[in-house]
């Protein structure tokens, strides 16, 4: 897999035009070769820093084919919002030839210790490719504790690492923090595969808190339930479906379908007038209610 | 009108300040590494401090549409703790090449001790080798001689004068600074250093070339709006708009963009404030409604 990722990064860096010109590519190849030959931890960190002198943190232009290829290489890896600089930095990180050894984890840790915000994002984005994943689990959870939203998203969204390696506590924290912070929970890879009673309880408590404070419930909150939460979950979703917020009603409709309660959803559909919500209800009843369906319902908290 | 405050210690300022600064037209700031009001005793404190300058403080400012750059350096006061200073100097190369680090600074003299001279010399040489801009803090006491010595040492170390910014100038030092070819920055403090009134007189007398106005606002009595307020006073006193622009925006940009670490194109685009991107449970917003504006 590592070689495929390395090739993907280099090939797509070459497609970035003036954002990554021939001089930048030459520097990149030289730096990657230097890293591959073995460098001190300090030098490794410096080369990752110096990439910012060759590439700006501007959005990368990636074709549909490139994104499809990325998903083939590693399920859950979706670099659609990576910057050119992040691509270069991840490429340099993966240029190490000792990724199977403890020395690479030590160098990575040192780079994190001295990292700026952009470097943190690149380091977190690269974790999914690391062969010694267990060496990075605690640090990945640290990324989720960051108050810098870009850093949080770099590890939490479009990244297969957390679903594969987080324990339940870290996983629940990630999901609920995404709701709190307005990060797109539907983009947390593997969410549907790691639902559970404890997550449902925390999510339902949060819904109650929001209502007590007269604040709308985040539509993506209903993503956290699945078939969990029992009667309390059903009551909470029904309450949402009787509310005035169409986004919330659409989301709760998906939630009910996810809970396997199409019967309740059909009943509530009879009273629904909003065409957007009706559309969501019909999709949900047709079995289209995976986390991807929530992409149009993601909104910022109030 | 847009303003650049190229010397302000944001880590000491509140979100109320950030809001007021943005409203007053401040689009960009430089936060020089300095001392924390009381001496640090461990190198780890510097690691965390430097990291906050390139991480959290930059992020915090961005929430208010303010571009945040910083300088990295060992300040003159703490240079006097020799064993700590040695460890801190070793950290400089790890931070100097980070994105948005526009200079080595603020460095220079406080009491003009040998230990200060050693740290200053070391950092001048590092800056010269790495073709970096240098921001010099001039001493409060014995300022005139301190500035002359700071400039001479920079010249000897091979720092080109166009990459040297001497800060905290006053009427008594401005000629030495300007005649050396360095940039002359002035700190507008409510009670000490310069006031806006005197600053206007300096610009009237010397013109706008290589003159930079900043606030150096920190944890003491200081004013984060010094730059726009001085700009307003200049306008009131009939200083040409072009001169105001130079001394409160363009000169700072020209001086520090030599680092290659200011994305000028991005800075000149309209400020985008999107606090929704960062509405975190313990973020700067703390439950307020996020602002989305262009």
Do A191 and A113 touch, CB atoms closer than 8 A? no
pLDDT at res. B284: 54
Using alpha carbons, select from B72, B201, B94 the residue that is nearest to residue A47.
B94
Report which of B142, B140, B190, B191 is spatially closest to residue B167, judged by C-alpha positions: B140
Q: Is residue A142 part of a domain?
A: yes
Instruction: Indicate yes or no: CB of B289 within 8 angstroms of CB of A45.
Output: no
CA atoms of B18 and B21, how far apart (whole Å)? 5
> From B280, which residue of chain A is nearest by alpha-carbon distance?
A181
Confidence (pLDDT) at A15: 96
The answer for A 209-268 residues in CB contact with B (under 8 A) is none
Contacts of residue B252, Cβ cutoff 8 Å, sequence gap at least 6? B4, B6, B28, B30, B212, B214
Assigned domain for A172 exists: no
Asked if residue A48 belongs to a domain, the reply is yes
Would the CB atoms of B278 and A148 count as touching at under 8 Å? yes
A42 plus A146 within the same structural domain = yes
- Return the sign of the alpha-carbon dihedral for residues A229, A231, A237, A243: negative
Q: CB contact, 8 Å: A53 with chain B?
A: yes
Count of the separate structural domains present in chain A = 2
Contact B97 A120 (CB under 8 A): no
Mutate to test the interface with A, among B274, B279, B291, B292 (most CBs of A within 10 A): B279
Residues A247 and A154 in one domain: no
Residues A121 and A214 in one domain: no
Most distant CA pair in chain A, distance: 68
- Both A96 and A145 in one domain: the answer is yes
pLDDT score of B291: 58
What is the reported pTM?
Answer: 0.89
Residues A12 and A143 occupy one common structural domain: yes
**Which option is the CATH number for B3-269: 3.40.50.1100, 3.20.20.140, 3.80.30.20, 3.40.50.620?**
3.20.20.140
Contacting residues of A for B99, CB less than 8 Å apart:
49, 52, 57, 116, 118-119
Cα–Cα distance list, B201 to B4, B189, B195, B226, B238 (Å): 20, 16, 10, 16, 11
- A119 chain-B contacts, CB cut-off 8 A: 98-99
A185 belongs to a structural domain: no
Q: How far apart are CA B55 and CA A25, in angstroms?
A: 27
Gap between the terminal Cα atoms of chain B: 15
Per-residue pLDDT of chain A (302 residues; tens, 9 = 90+): 999 999 999 999 999 999 999 999 999 999 999 999 999 999 999 999 999 988 888 899 999 999 999 999 999 999 999 999 999 999 999 999 999 999 999 999 999 999 999 999 999 999 999 999 999 999 999 999 998 999 999 999 999 999 999 999 999 999 999 999 999 999 999 999 999 999 999 999 999 999 999 999 999 999 999 999 999 999 999 999 999 899 999 999 999 999 999 999 999 999 999 999 999 999 999 999 999 999 988 765 44
Question: Residue B188 carries which DSSP code?
Answer: B
pLDDT number for residue B279: 35
Instruction: Provide the token pair at A277.
Output: 């919500």
pLDDT of residue B192: 72
Where are the domains positioned within chain B? 3-269
The candidate with the shortest Cα–Cα distance to B21, out of B282, B280, B271, B289, is B271
CA angle B113, B116, B122 (to 5 degrees): 140
Rounded CA-CA distance B47/B31 in Å is 16
d(CA A239, CA A247): 14
Distance from CA of B104 to the nearest CA of A (A): 16
Range of the domain at A209: 193-296
**What's the CA gap between B219 and B128, in Å, rounded?**
31
A152 and A201 both lie in a single domain = no
State the smallest CA–CA distance between residue B54 and chain A in angstroms.
5
- CA-nearest of A152, A87, A166 to A126 is A87
Of A46, A150, A300, nearest to B290 by CB-CB distance is: A300
pLDDT < 50: residue spans in chain B: 276, 278-283, 286-287, 294
| Beta strands, E only, chain A | none
Eight-class DSSP state of B269: S
Asked if the Cβ–Cβ distance from B278 to A149 is below 8 Å, we say yes
Same domain, yes or no: A55 and A116: yes
> A132 with A215, same domain?
no
Choosing from A166, A182, A209, the residue where a domain stops is A166
Q: Is residue A56 part of a domain?
A: yes
Set of chain B residues whose Cβ sits within 8 Å of the Cβ of A150: 59, 277-278
């Amino acid at each position: 897999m590592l070689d495929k990722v390395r090739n993907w990064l280099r090939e797509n860096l070459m497609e970035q035009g003036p954002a990554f010109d021939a001089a930048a590519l030459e520097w990149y190849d030289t730096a990657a070769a230097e890293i591959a030959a073995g460098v001190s931890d300090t030098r490794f960190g410096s080369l990752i820093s110096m990439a910012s002198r060759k590439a700006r943190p501007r959005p990368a232009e990636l074709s549909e084919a490139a994104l499809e290829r990325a998903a083939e290489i590693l399920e859950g890896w979706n670099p659609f919002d990576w910057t050119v600089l992040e691509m270069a930095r991840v490429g340099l990180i993966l240029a190490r030839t000792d990724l199977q050894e403890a020395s690479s984890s030590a160098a990575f840790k040192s780079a994190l210790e001295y990292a700026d915000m952009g470097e943190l994002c690149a380091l977190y984005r690269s974790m999914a490719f690391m062969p010694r994943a267990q060496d990075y689990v605690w640090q990945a959870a640290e990324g989720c504790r960051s108050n810098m939203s870009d850093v949080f998203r770099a590890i939490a969204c479009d990244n297969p690492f957390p679903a594969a390696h987080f324990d339940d506590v870290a996983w629940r924290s990630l999901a609920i923090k995404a709701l709190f912070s307005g990060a797109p929970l539907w983009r947390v890879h593997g969410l549907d595969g790691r639902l559970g009673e404890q997550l449902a309880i925390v999510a339902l408590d949060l819904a109650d808190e929001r209502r007590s404070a007269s604040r709308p419930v985040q539509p993506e909150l209903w993503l956290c339930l699945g078939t969990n939460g029992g009667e309390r979950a059903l009551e909470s979703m029904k309450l949402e479906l009787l509310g005035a917020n169409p986004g919330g009603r659409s989301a709760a409709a998906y939630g009910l379908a996810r809970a396997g309660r199409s019967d309740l959803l059909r009943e509530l559909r009879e009273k629904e007038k909003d065409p957007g919500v009706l559309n969501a209800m019909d999709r949900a009843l047709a079995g289209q209610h995976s986390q991807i369906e929530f992409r149009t319902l993601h909104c910022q908290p109030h | 009108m847009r303003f650049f405050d190229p010397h302000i210690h944001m880590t000491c300022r509140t979100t109320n300040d950030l809001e007021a600064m943005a409203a007053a037209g401040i689009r960009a700031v430089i936060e020089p590494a300095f001392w924390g009001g009381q001496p640090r005793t461990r190198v780890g404190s510097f690691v965390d401090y430097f990291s906050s300058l390139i991480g959290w403080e930059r992020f915090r400012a961005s929430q208010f549409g303010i571009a945040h750059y910083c300088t990295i350096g060992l300040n003159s006061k703490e240079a006097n703790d020799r064993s700590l200073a040695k460890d801190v100097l070793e950290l400089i190369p790890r931070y100097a090449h980070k994105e948005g680090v526009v200079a080595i600074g603020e460095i220079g003299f406080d009491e003009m001790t040998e230990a200060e001279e050693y740290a200053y010399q070391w950092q001048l040489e590092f800056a010269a080798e790495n073709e970096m801009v240098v921001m010099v803090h001039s001493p409060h006491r014995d300022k005139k001689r301190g500035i002359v010595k700071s400039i001479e040492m920079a010249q000897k170390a091979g720092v080109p004068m166009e990459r040297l910014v001497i800060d905290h100038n006053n009427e008594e030092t401005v000629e030495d600074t300007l005649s050396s070819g360095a940039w002359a920055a002035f700190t507008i403090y409510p009670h000490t250093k310069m006031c806006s009134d005197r600053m206007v007189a300096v610009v009237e007398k010397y013109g706008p070339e290589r003159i930079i106005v900043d606030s150096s606002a920190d944890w003491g009595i200081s004013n984060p709006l010094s730059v726009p307020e001085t700009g307003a006073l200049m306008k009131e006193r009939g200083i040409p708009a072009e001169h105001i622009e130079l001394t409160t925006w363009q000169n700072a940009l020209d001086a520090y963009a030599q680092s290659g670490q200011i994305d000028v194109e991005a800075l000149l685009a309209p400020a985008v404030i999107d606090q929704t991107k960062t509405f975190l449970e313990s973020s700067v917003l703390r439950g307020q409604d996020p602002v989305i504006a262009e």
